[in-house]
Structure 1
Amino acid sequence: EQAAKYPQTDWHFEYSPETFSTAELDFSLEVCEAVMEVLAPTPDHPIILNLPATLEAATPNIYADQVEYFIRNLPNRASAVISLHTHNDRGTGVAAAELALMAGADRVEGCLFGNGERTGNCCLVTMALNMYTQGVNPELDFSDIDRVIETVEYCNQIPVHQRHPYGGELVYTAFSGSHQDAIKKGFAAAKRQNDEHWRVPYLPIDPADLGRSYEAVIRVNSQSGKGGFAWVLEQDQGLKLPKRMQADFSPHVQRMADLLGRELTAADIWEAFRDAYHVHASDKHFQLVDYEERRTADGARLFTGTIAVEGEERTVSGRGNGLISSVLTTIEDAFGLSLEVADYTEHALGTGRDARAAAYLECRTPEGATIWGVGIDEDVATASVRAVLSAANSAVAG
């Protein structure tokens, strides 16, 4: 009667049988049919029948069965929008809503991050992004989820839990070594294959789709493995450590994590790396001042350079079949330090004309110990020379 007084308003009515999930289904149907007779909905102007799990008292499949029975036995079904209103008393509010949608419901009522009476209602963020991960557009925009969180926390004065699905601060973060290694390999495979589908282990959704960066995906503490710090160094410094070098560096990271007793930042890991391999360190035993290299008449390489030893500059030289071997010969002849190359790799740091180079050198001592050296420079040849001196510094440091 009141609606008829205001024909310029487009009225839509909703009715909720409040104790639907704990009432006799046939009685709920009888009441809803009576309401529909009064309101006279049509397919073009349907009524919303909202079916609450006012107190979640059974497993999600039971609620879905109740909804399915209601839908199958409702006269004039085309004139009703079947809505869901779940609660989370048993911790399955989202699951109940998902199963009830599969049972034929059309609409879901809920709250952002599950706020609501007692344990809360269906979390619309979780519900929507569960659908999104299955290729169903929920028609809700969470592309800047941190802004949504900020607004919800301000309005409700209730913080979103760090491990709340999709939105929590730590949900895209791995501390476990095995998880970090799998994520690192997953990212590498996706980049290599240019796969349009998201297939990274332990990450149910691409954080970038929600406005999150990859910086916090892998974080390092005392329980982290090699994949963790290797990922951080690659993302932060562009370094792609060889597998055996990762194993060599791992104890240094572990010691720092145990010493500090907290999560390590990218700056912490970079500091540990520079200290371990004497990169840009002012207190290293050998420091490269300058050098030149030329090919001799017999095809050998001649290295001539100035190396500061404990701050005192010395001019030294040596021959070899390449730059690295000539520097190793120089180190042995001038300082009595014998090292043999076991492996060498290099790569560019970045792209373009100004890209620097990183060189990694694995050496063996006469006693069979493994020593690693690292060199970083704008010039790839100089980077390899620095890698030799880095290994020499590690050998001297013991």
Structure 2
Amino acid sequence: MSAAAKDQVVIFDTTLRDGEQSPGASMTLEEKLQVAELLDTMGVDVIEAGFPIASIGDFEAVCEIAKRSKNSVIAGLSRAIPADIDRAGEAVKFAERGRIHTFVSTSPIHLQYQMKKNEEEVLEIIRQTVSRARNLIDDVEWSAMDATRTSIEYLSRCVEAAIDAGATTINLPDTVGYAVPHEYQMMFEQIIKNVPNSDKAIFSVHCHNDLGLAVANSLAGVAGGARQIECTINGLGERAGNAALEEVVMAIRTRNDVLPYGCSVDPKYMTRASKLVSAVTSFPVQFNKAIVGKNAFAHESGIHQDGMLKHAETYEIMRPEDVGVRATSLVMGKHSGRAAFKDKLTELGYDLGDNAFQEAFRRFKDLADRKKNVYDEDIEALVEDEISVQGESVKVLSLTVIAGTGGPQKAILTMDVDGRHRTREANGDGPVDATFNAIKAIIPHEATLQLYQVHAVTEGTDAQAEVTVRLEDGGKIATGKGADTDTLVASARAYVSALNKLKVRRQREINVEDAIAS
């Protein structure tokens, strides 16, 4: 391996697999294809497209992404089970470059309580399953689940067995976010030194953020000899999430003096990717999120503003345009035409189909009539709301609410349900409760409200409200978002969006059951 290759870090994105495992973050096939296409365009080396054995939908998504990928390696995840491995191999075979990623637990607590096997039995499982995967495809990644709570001696034996069986990438994940940077770095140094065939594989990091150390641990692992980082857009993932791709890449680019590595990701797509993933999963990005948060390049303090006016580098260590953020903002208004609106969408990183564009433009003009100033954030909220409702079978058409201290809170709601207009009236303990009761009258369901959250997109009394609603039904969780200058309309849209997602998930389960039965 050349010196240049040794210093190149492979970026492995698992937004579509580990990211989708976040409660409520489920994506449709079309949404997955959109995300995968953007990841492929931005130069991600490996896209983990899904868990093919998990469902027919996941299998189909991995197959379709594999067929469409132009540059990235497409990986499918599998447990250390022959049927899983075969299914993953079947899905990624359509890719120009495919990978089977198989894993097994190695820590004492996992072996005792989850695997219920001893160390020698797990070693044999590693040999058999990695060998099986390698007989199907040349590119095989093996992961030691809960590696950071596994002894170095046993972990070394597992790694050696996996490489002997044909693994070309070895992933040593901090599965539960337990490690701290210096010990994670040391683990890689010791494993690479102890395992006699370690030079035959690339080592990989996969860090969870339970202690807020995922990015720091990932970079420490690279310092210890790893040359692949597994991460997700916006740090999406189970529990507290994964290392954020945008933070890892920009840390390497910005501090290349102390992190002397290269990576192939083009950062100018990062803001666009962040917004897309946030829109399709309905997971909002916190305002102060590093790199892609709304406030990442915003300055309110007088001292900071004074410094920025004199020289941008006084308070900005990165240029906003490097990550796809415009330094200046064009204010849009009611006199703006379609061409200006389309140019603004392009500037903000959106590429809508004709129908979606026309509907977004209509809503923009309505918004401009109600607001004195329409800011970039207003347009982003509007477009993300429009993206979230594309393809939904149930939509809010009109809402009238009667509220106040002098009488019952009443909502009169009209919705489009599978092409038919339905109107219902309902009372409630407040206007939001009445609105949600009206929805339930039109679409009877047993889902319970877990989260209702409102925030203003911009300042001012005419600001758009962006509402997030999380529903739970039979153990299934879905999150919906809605935006409007009327908080109640935004609330209705968010609630209906979540209901639509629950409906899609139920239909997927029915399809799987029907397929199994047949």
Coarse TM-score class (shorter-chain normalised):
0.3 to 0.5
TM-score, length-scaled by structure 2: 0.36
Greater Rg by CA: 1
RCO comparison, higher one (Cα < 8 Å, 6+): 2
Richer in helix (by share): 2
